[in-house]
Amino acid sequence: MKKLNVGIVGIGAVGAEMLKILRQRDFPIGELRVLARSERDEDVAGETVHVFPTCAEAFDGLDIALFAGTEGAKGASVKFGWEAVRRGATVIDNGNDFRMDDRVPLVIPEINAAALEGHQGLIANPNCSTIVALMALAPLHRAARIRRFVAATYQSVSGTGREAIVELDEQVRAYARGEPLKVAVYPHQIAFNALPHIGGLKDDMPGYTSEEAKMLFETRKILGDNSIRVSATCVRVPVFYAHSVAINVELARPVSPEEARELLAAAPGVRVIDDLPNNRYPLALEAAHKDDVLVGRIRLDPSTENGLALFVVGDNIRKGAALNAVQIAEHLVRTR
């Protein structure tokens, strides 16, 4: 297989995970070029990586550029994304800036890889909580078409980045020592708390945040169905890795829990853990640092016609970001 020159833009939590996943999955790399704001050496999983400053010329000669922007962060992909495309790279962007751009496919490879056909050089990763939820919902949609779903997310601090991981760790340690807890990353203490506020306010959706709006608009684009109705409440919880989502979904026809389990068990990238009497269900600790999305607590929702309830958990840094981007790159390599 021909080796490709690959760039990673950003070496925070997602960028470091991209590097690890490329190594773990034996991606055919010729040259690996890591870019960030400043030049330095970084230790990533025991490997010392030289980081080059990001500039337009840094994309010359790259076949694929993975932009690892933290959710909600503006900057690198806006400034350099299309410039990298002009210089010959295919850009896979983890940020939010181009997801709803009509020129840009929004892709979860297990669900809508066909959207990559005829791409214009820039491809977007969906939001992490959207990816986790749709890995479970897409198989149900294909079988019985989703009319509506309500989602409550329980999102880990790693979705905010390294600073939030450090803040949660330091707050827990300070609490154990009986010391005051310092609050900087979030507007409130995150340790031993739950914050129902992720993202900025949406002027066109009064009362909703940008994170909650993404669940609606990204779902419609990925599944290709603008009739799907979605209401989401997104909550930050004191968990280091893995987002959890409680979902109530209304389908166009009845689907029994048994049929749902069969559909989900056959879906790539999904693992069903659903044995309530024996305390077996998806856990953030079990999903952390793993590739599969876990689904359980599958049951009828008697409050609506053709309703199901389920609980879904996935690692937001892996499948919700870095792994999904690398899977897109792998698909491009296979279909060149």
pLDDT in tens, 146-190: 999 999 999 999 999 999 999 999 999 999 999 999 999 999 999
Tell me: do 8 and 93 sit in the same domain: yes
Q: Which tokens go with 182? A: 């310092």
Per-residue pLDDT, 72: 43
Instruction: Give catalytic residue positions.
Output: 128, 243
Residue 311 has pLDDT above 70, yes or no: yes
- Assess whether 141 and 156 both reside in one domain: yes
Q: Which residue has the tokens 């409130």?
A: 188
Average pLDDT over residues 32-44: 93
Residues 137 and 253 in one domain: yes
**Per-residue pLDDT at 70:** 55
Residue 329 pLDDT greater than 70, yes or no: yes
Under 8 Å CB-to-CB from 275, ≥6 apart: which residues?
Answer: 281, 296
Indicate whether 146 and 76 sit together in one domain.
no
User: 66 and 160: one domain?
Assistant: no
Q: Are residues 8 and 136 in the same domain?
A: no
* Residue 46 confidence (pLDDT): 84
- DSSP alpha helix (H) spans, 147-305: 162-177, 210-223, 257-265, 284-287
Indicate whether 45 pLDDT > 80: no
**Residue 99's pLDDT is what?**
97
Residue 1 has pLDDT above 80, yes or no: no
Q: Please check whether residues 244 and 325 belong to one and the same domain.
A: no
- pLDDT the model gives residue 336: 81
pLDDT band at residue 74, thresholds of 50, 70 and 90? Answer: low
* Sequence-separated (6 or more) residues with CB below 8 Å from residue 87: 56, 59, 60, 62
Report CA 322 to chain centroid distance, whole Å. Answer: 8
Here the CATH number for the domain that contains residue 51 is 3.40.50.720
Give yes or no for a contact between 274 and 262, defined as CB atoms under 8 angstroms apart.
no
Total domain count, the chain: 2
Helices 13-24 and 323-334, axial angle in degrees (round to 10): 40
Please tell me the predicted confidence (pLDDT) of residue 278. 98
139/247 same-domain check: yes
**Location of structure tokens 């068990």:** 265
Q: Give the pLDDT confidence of 3-24 residue by residue, as tens digits.
A: 999 999 999 999 999 999 999 9
Lowest mean pLDDT among 45-49, 100-104, 304-308: 45-49
Asked if 119 and 195 sit in the same domain, the reply is no
Residue 246 CB-density burial (10 A; 0-12 exposed, 13-18 middle, 19+ buried): middle
Residues 259, 283 within the same domain: yes
> 158: burial class by Cβ within 10 Å (0-12, 13-18, 19+)?
buried
Q: Is the pLDDT of residue 73 over 70?
A: no
pLDDT in tens, 242-288: 999 999 999 999 999 999 999 999 999 999 999 999 999 999 999 99
* pLDDT surpassing 50 at residue 193: yes
Q: Are residues 85 and 146 in the same domain?
A: no
Q: What is the CATH number of the domain that holds 186?
A: 3.30.360.10
Contact yes or no for 109/331 (Cβ under 8 A): yes
- Per-residue pLDDT, 47: 87
Structural domain including 136 reads: 130-316
Q: Is there a single domain that holds both residue 211 and residue 235? A: yes
Angle CA 226–154–199, to nearest 5:
65
Q: Which pLDDT does position 225 carry in this prediction?
A: 98
